[in-house]
């Protein structure tokens, strides 16, 4: 396994990504992911859905609300903690790498890969794997960091020295130096937009996911379109999250 993937596994094992909470309430809200909901509404009854990079399984309840039953979901994540927790909830979950999926060709009617491709060492390789496991005519939904959003330049690109020290020298000191600034900024934004602060565990998980993550590629529409063209797919529609930080695409898989 390459360095980036090894590091991502260690990071997401320790800081599992799923619910981001304001006390007992979830900050991540279904209403803010309208594009994903639109995609779920397009899925035919009885379809087999693969969630690649499923994290702690935040979206499972939403899939059920849209008529996708537990037995029709296959989930995969790099972190064994996430996979074990999902198995305990009765899901068919697998530990694996998005760039080398342990699934046969064409097993999925639709594949979802939310917030994952940008963290992989080779996103196009992961995209190709999503296409391989999705049947011809099936649908894919991907969401990635939007390269035109200034947030990711500030939180990811500009923090490179801290991340370098974190992975190559010492994990504690760069975290102590940077986290208070991240926390103050994110908590202020959360308070202004949601009327309450995020819990500390969620804030740290977000910090690790967005700042200390070993890799965060940024994406434009044209990059996604190129991936689609090169792998025989068609982008049906692009979308954004409420604050335009994430770019998403609904893609139809076409295989010769």
Query: 136 and 254 in contact (C-beta within 8 Å)?
Result: yes
Q: How far is the CB of 28 from ligand SAM (least distance, A)?
A: 8
**Beta strands per DSSP E along the chain:** 21-22, 25-26, 49-52, 73-77, 92-95, 108-114, 134-145, 233-240, 246-253
- Per CB under 6 A, the segment of 114-122, 154-162, 225-233, 238-246 that binds ligand SAM is 114-122
Between 58 and 197, whose beta carbon lies closer to ligand SAM? 58
As given in the structure block, the two tokens for residue 96 are 């694996």
> Which residues make Cβ contacts (< 8 Å) with residue 150, sequence separation at least 6?
none
Nearest to 247 by CA among 210, 220, 226, 229: 220
Q: Does 99 help bind ligand SAM (rule: CB under 6 A)?
A: yes
Binding test (CB under 6 A) with ligand SAM, winner from 74, 79, 190, 202: 79
Cα 164–Cα 159–Cα 238 angle in degrees, nearest 5: 115
Between 30 and 69, whose beta carbon lies closer to ligand SAM? 30
Binding test (CB under 6 A) with ligand SAM, winner from 98, 224, 247, 251: 98
Q: Where are the alpha helices (DSSP H) in 150-235?
A: 150-155, 160-168, 172-194, 200-207, 221-230
Q: How far is the CB of 256 from ligand SAM (least distance, A)?
A: 27
Q: Indicate the residue whose CB is closest to ligand SAM.
A: 55
Q: How far is the CB of 6 from ligand SAM (least distance, A)?
A: 10
Nearest to 85 by CA among 57, 63, 106: 57
As given in the structure block, the two tokens for residue 22 are 């304001």
- Per CB under 6 A, the segment of 97-105, 128-136, 146-154, 196-204 that binds ligand SAM is 97-105
Q: Does 240 help bind ligand SAM (rule: CB under 6 A)?
A: no
Residues making contact with ligand SAM (CB under 6 A): 5, 8, 12, 17-18, 53-55, 58, 77-79, 82, 97-99, 114-116, 119-120, 209
């Amino acid at each position: 396994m390459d360095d980036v993937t090894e590091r991502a596994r260690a990071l997401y094992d320790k800081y599992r990504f799923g619910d981001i909470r304001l006390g007992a309430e979830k900050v991540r809200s279904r209403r803010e992911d309208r594009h994903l909901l639109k995609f779920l509404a397009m899925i035919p009854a009885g379809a087999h859905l693969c969630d690649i990079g499923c994290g702690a399984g935040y979206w499972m309840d939403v899939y059920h609300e849209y008529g996708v039953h537990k037995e029709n979901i296959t989930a995969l994540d790099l972190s064994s903690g996430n996979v074990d927790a999902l198995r305990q909830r009765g899901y068919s979950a697998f530990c694996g790498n998005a760039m080398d999926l342990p699934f046969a060709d064409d097993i999925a009617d639709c594949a979802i890969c939310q917030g994952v491709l940008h963290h992989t060492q080779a996103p196009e390789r992961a995209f190709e794997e999503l296409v391989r496991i999705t049947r011809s005519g099936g649908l894919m939904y991907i969401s990635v960091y939007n390269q035109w959003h200034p947030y990711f330049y500030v939180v990811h690109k500009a923090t490179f020295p801290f991340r370098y020290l974190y992975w190559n020298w010492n994990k504690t000191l760069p975290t102590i130096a940077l986290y208070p600034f991240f926390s103050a900024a994110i908590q202020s934004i959360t308070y202004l937009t949601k009327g309450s602060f995020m819990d500390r565990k969620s804030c740290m998980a977000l910090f690790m996911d967005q700042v200390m993550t070993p890799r965060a590629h940024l994406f434009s529409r044209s990059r996604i379109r190129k991936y689609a063209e090169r792998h025989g797919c068609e982008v049906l529609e692009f979308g954004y999250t409420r604050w335009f930080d994430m770019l998403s695409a609904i893609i139809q898989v076409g295989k010769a």
